[in-house]
């Protein structure tokens, strides 16, 4: 048994004795609370913001009213400046947002007065509006060009099976061929066809009815794969082959790929009797540098 009086420690019996180091451990002063412990014990008070808020967005400086940032409740900016979250400041005391500030002025202009950006900046501002979750701005941008036209285009491409996969295949084949040949460009054949089954001049006036009258065994006679690298189709829409070609070239160009194309003929595979494939074949030329 250990008897402690003041600063003195007395051992009663050898069996119950403790070393001086053990005794010192039992009577150490409490350690200074860590920052984490202090934060748990004393939660931070809500952050207070001035009425006029200086901002540093990725190194670009802005000044706006607090009410502007809180204009729409369900946005990231409103949440950030609600006081519930801590926002760091730079050396000058500006509230820092770690985001490219190139188009932040367009965001503020919409929050201030509902102004929309010029057409050439619509796509970029749309991405920023997505990041800041500004629903009213997204709705307005989607209703003007070029985003309105893009929605129509995507509705058409939604009819195209494996469209994005085929684009990737074009890029991979062209890259592989260029690397194998140590060439600046590569060529590949692409088939783009709208109708699922071939027709003859005799069928043109009654194509729809004749197509659905064919039996399953007859239909299989027309199934084949054209000797090309990639094949797009079929689809049912007013948009034709040239519309799809425009989409393909536009989407490749948007990825920085230089592409040219030209029709080099049709698939002349003989299927049965007087039926030939006749699907158009295009040569795509991908230039890498």
Is the pLDDT reported for residue 253 higher than 70? yes
Task: Calculate what percentage of the chain has a pLDDT beyond 90.
Answer: 61
Whether residues 99 and 176 fall in one domain: no
What pLDDT is recorded for position 87? 93
| Cα 82 → chain centroid | 28
Cβ contact 197:219 at 8 Å: yes
Which of 3-17, 150-164, 241-255 is predicted with the least confidence, judged by mean pLDDT?
Answer: 3-17
What pLDDT is recorded for position 8? 46
Dihedral of CA atoms 26, 27, 29, 30 in degrees, nearest 10, equals 40
Whether residues 91 and 60 fall in one domain: yes
Whether residues 233 and 194 fall in one domain: yes
pLDDT-derived band at 225 (thresholds 50, 70, 90) equals confident
Is the pLDDT reported for residue 91 higher than 80? yes
Cβ contact 174:277 at 8 Å: no
Q: What is the count of structural domains for the chain? A: 2
pLDDT-derived band at 36 (thresholds 50, 70, 90) equals very low
pLDDT-derived band at 278 (thresholds 50, 70, 90) equals confident
Residue where one domain finishes, among candidates 79, 113, 144: 144
Mean pLDDT along residues 235-253: 93
- 62 phi and psi, to 5 degrees? -140, 155
Is the pLDDT reported for residue 148 higher than 90? yes
Whether residues 168 and 281 fall in one domain: yes
> Could you tell me if residue 15 is inside a domain?
no
Whether residues 169 and 105 fall in one domain: no
What digits encode the pLDDT tens for the residues 40-63?
Answer: 444 455 789 999 999 999 999 999
> Could you tell me if residue 13 is inside a domain?
no
Residue where one domain finishes, among candidates 144, 166, 190: 144
Cβ contact 123:146 at 8 Å: yes
Query: What is the number of other CB atoms lying within 10 angstroms of the CB of residue 181?
Result: 10
Whether residues 115 and 70 fall in one domain: yes
What CA–CA distance (Å, rounded) separates 72 from 108?
Answer: 12
Q: Dihedral sign, CA of 229, 187, 249, 126?
A: positive
Is the pLDDT reported for residue 17 higher than 50? no
> Could you tell me if residue 62 is inside a domain?
yes
Helix (H), strand (E) at residue 110: helix 104-113
Whether residues 88 and 188 fall in one domain: no
Is the pLDDT reported for residue 27 higher than 50? no
What pLDDT is recorded for position 161? 83
> Could you tell me if residue 236 is inside a domain?
yes
User: Which residues have a Cβ under 8 Å from the Cβ of 237 and sit 6 or more positions away?
Assistant: 156, 159
Q: Walk across the sheet containing 230-232 and list its strands.
A: 230-232, 185-192, 280-287, 258-266
Mean pLDDT along residues 69-76: 95
Q: What share of the chain is helix, strand, coil (3-state, %, to 5)?
A: 40, 20, 40
What pLDDT is recorded for position 222? 52
Is the pLDDT reported for residue 34 higher than 70? no
232 or 211: whose pLDDT is higher? 232
Whether residues 282 and 178 fall in one domain: yes
> Could you tell me if residue 129 is inside a domain?
yes
108 or 85: whose pLDDT is higher? 108
Whether residues 77 and 125 fall in one domain: yes
Whether residues 238 and 271 fall in one domain: yes
pLDDT-derived band at 195 (thresholds 50, 70, 90) equals confident
Residue where one domain finishes, among candidates 117, 144, 171: 144
What pLDDT is recorded for position 279? 87
What pLDDT is recorded for position 51? 96
> Could you tell me if residue 21 is inside a domain?
no
Helix (H), strand (E) at residue 148: helix 147-157
136: CATH: 3.30.710.10
Q: Dihedral sign, CA of 170, 171, 172, 173?
A: positive
> Could you tell me if residue 212 is inside a domain?
no
> Could you tell me if residue 176 is inside a domain?
yes
What digits encode the pLDDT tens for the residues 260-276?
Answer: 999 999 888 766 666 77
Which of 74-88, 142-156, 223-237 is predicted with the least confidence, judged by mean pLDDT?
Answer: 223-237
Whether residues 104 and 187 fall in one domain: no
pTM listed for this prediction: 0.65
Whether residues 240 and 272 fall in one domain: yes
What pLDDT is recorded for position 61? 98
- Domain hosting residue 57, numbered range: 52-144
């Amino acid at each position: 048994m250990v008897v402690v009086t003041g600063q003195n420690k007395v051992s009663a019996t050898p069996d119950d004795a403790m070393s001086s180091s053990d005794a010192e451990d039992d009577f150490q002063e409490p350690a200074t609370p860590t920052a984490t412990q202090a934060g748990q014990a004393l939660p931070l008070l809500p952050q207070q913001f001035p009425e006029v808020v200086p901002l540093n967005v990725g190194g670009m400086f802005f000044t706006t009213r607090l009410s502007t940032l809180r204009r729409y409740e369900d946005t990231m900016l409103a949440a950030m400046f609600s006081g519930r979250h801590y926002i760091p400041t730079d050396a000058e005391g500006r509230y820092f947002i770690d985001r490219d500030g190139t188009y932040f002025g367009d965001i503020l202009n919409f929050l201030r007065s509902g102004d929309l950006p010029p057409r050439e900046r619509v796509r970029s501002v749309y991405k920023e509006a997505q990041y800041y979750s500004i629903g009213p701005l997204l709705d307005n941008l989607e209703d003007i060009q070029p985003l309105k036209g893009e929605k129509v285009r995507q509705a058409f491409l939604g009819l195209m099976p494996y469209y994005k996969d085929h684009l990737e295949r074009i890029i991979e084949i062209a890259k592989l061929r260029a690397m194998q040949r140590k060439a600046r460009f590569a060529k590949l054949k692409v088939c783009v066809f709208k109708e699922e089954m071939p027709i003859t001049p005799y069928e043109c006036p009654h194509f729809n009815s004749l197509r659905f009258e064919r039996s399953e065994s007859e239909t299989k006679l027309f199934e084949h794969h054209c000797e090309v690298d990639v094949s797009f189709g079929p689809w049912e829409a007013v948009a034709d082959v040239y519309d799809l070609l425009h989409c393909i070239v536009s989407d490749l160009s948007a990825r920085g790929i230089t592409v040219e194309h030209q029709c080099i003929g049709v698939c002349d595979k003989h299927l049965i009797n007087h039926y030939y494939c006749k699907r158009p074949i295009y040569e795509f030329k991908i230039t890498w540098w």
